[in-house]
């Protein structure tokens, strides 16, 4: 049960940070995103990849599913405009929640919930990933003309998507039969999102020692979990 509560709470922690503190320092948010991207990447490599490649007989097939995950995330980002890694482009005068944004984020969130109860550490990675995403979503939605109750409903439904994925993976036998394939798909999604966060060009293409230290700290934290 705590898996569900923690994954739901992550979105609202991000929203509350925005609502209470009104942060406007984009540099700090980028560092938080860098930490979340590095942590998610490290957890994927340290924990998820060894799990799906245990059966060497189907290693190439597993690689195919990972590649499908990468390509699927690329398609989802076409509709979400990169919200999964910190980029949202919404018309500030809009009065309606963009449906394609919600659908693409929802698919992403449901899939990332599948390996939570199987793989140690992945829940923490998803929580750390969702807090800055919750902050970014809340900031952009609050700057539109969408009514606040609708924004709250959007955030609630988005927060429920990852626990929904976890619930499906635990209670539907048909899904459990394809757990490794789905997990490989999720790995591809995580690899795309995390590397996009980490390796986007810095402003002016300058070396950023602070960002490097944040990435190293996140990687070390993921290793010891």
Domain boundaries, the chain: 2-17+26-200
Residue 33 has pLDDT above 70, yes or no: yes
Residue of 181, 189, 192, 187 lying closest to 62 (CA atoms): 181
User: 42 burial class (0-12, 13-18, 19+ CB within 10 angstroms)?
Assistant: buried
Judge whether 36 and 132 are in contact, CB under 8 Å. yes
Q: How far is it, in rounded angstroms, from Cα 170 to Cα 182?
A: 13
The answer for residues whose C-beta is within 8 angstroms of residue 75's C-beta and 6 or more apart is: none
How far is CA 45 from each of CA 33, 75, 90, 166, rounded to the nearest angstrom? 18, 23, 33, 20
| pLDDT-wise least confident of 22-26, 136-140, 181-185, 207-211 | 22-26
Q: How far is it, in rounded angstroms, from Cα 179 to Cα 11?
A: 26
Q: Which residue has the tokens 């490599």?
A: 45
Residues, the chain: 225
User: 126 burial class (0-12, 13-18, 19+ CB within 10 angstroms)?
Assistant: buried
Q: How far is it, in rounded angstroms, from Cα 111 to Cα 164?
A: 9
Residue of 34, 27, 17 lying closest to 217 (CA atoms): 34
The answer for residues whose C-beta is within 8 angstroms of residue 165's C-beta and 6 or more apart is: 109, 110, 111, 112, 113, 114, 116
pLDDT tens, residue by residue, 70-108? 999 999 988 877 776 666 666 677 788 778 888 999 999
Q: With the CA atoms of 84, 155, 36 and 60 taken in that order, what torsion angle do they form, in degrees rounded to the nearest 10? A: -50
Residue 209 has pLDDT above 90, yes or no: no
Q: Which residue has the tokens 């602070």?
A: 210
- Split at pLDDT 50, 70, 90, the class of 198 is confident
At 44 the pLDDT is 93
Q: How far is it, in rounded angstroms, from Cα 7 to Cα 116?
A: 10
**Tokens, residue 185:** 């798909």
């Amino acid at each position: 049960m705590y898996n569900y509560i923690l994954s739901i709470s992550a979105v609202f922690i991000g929203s509350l940070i925005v609502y209470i503190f009104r942060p406007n320092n984009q540099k700090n948010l980028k560092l938080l995103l860098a930490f979340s991207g590095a942590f998610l990447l490290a957890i994927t490599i340290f924990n998820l990849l060894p799990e799906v490649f245990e059966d060497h007989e189907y290693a190439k097939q597993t690689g195919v599913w990972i590649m499908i995950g990468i390509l699927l995330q690329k398609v989802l980002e076409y509709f979400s405009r990169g919200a999964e890694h910190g980029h949202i482009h919404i018309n500030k005068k809009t009065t309606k929640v963009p449906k394609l944004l919600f659908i693409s984020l929802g698919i992403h969130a449901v899939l990332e919930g599948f390996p939570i109860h199987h793989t140690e550490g992945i829940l923490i990675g998803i929580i750390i990933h969702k807090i800055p995403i919750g902050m970014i979503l809340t900031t952009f939605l609050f700057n539109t003309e969408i009514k606040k109750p609708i924004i709250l409903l959007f955030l609630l439904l988005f927060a429920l998507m990852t626990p929904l994925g976890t619930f499906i993976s635990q209670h539907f036998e048909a899904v459990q039969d394809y757990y490794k394939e789905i997990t490989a798909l999720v790995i591809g999604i995580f690899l795309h999102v995390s590397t996009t966060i980490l390796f986007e060009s810095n402003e002016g293409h300058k070396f950023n020692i602070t960002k490097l230290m944040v990435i190293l700290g996140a990687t070390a934290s993921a290793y010891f979990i």
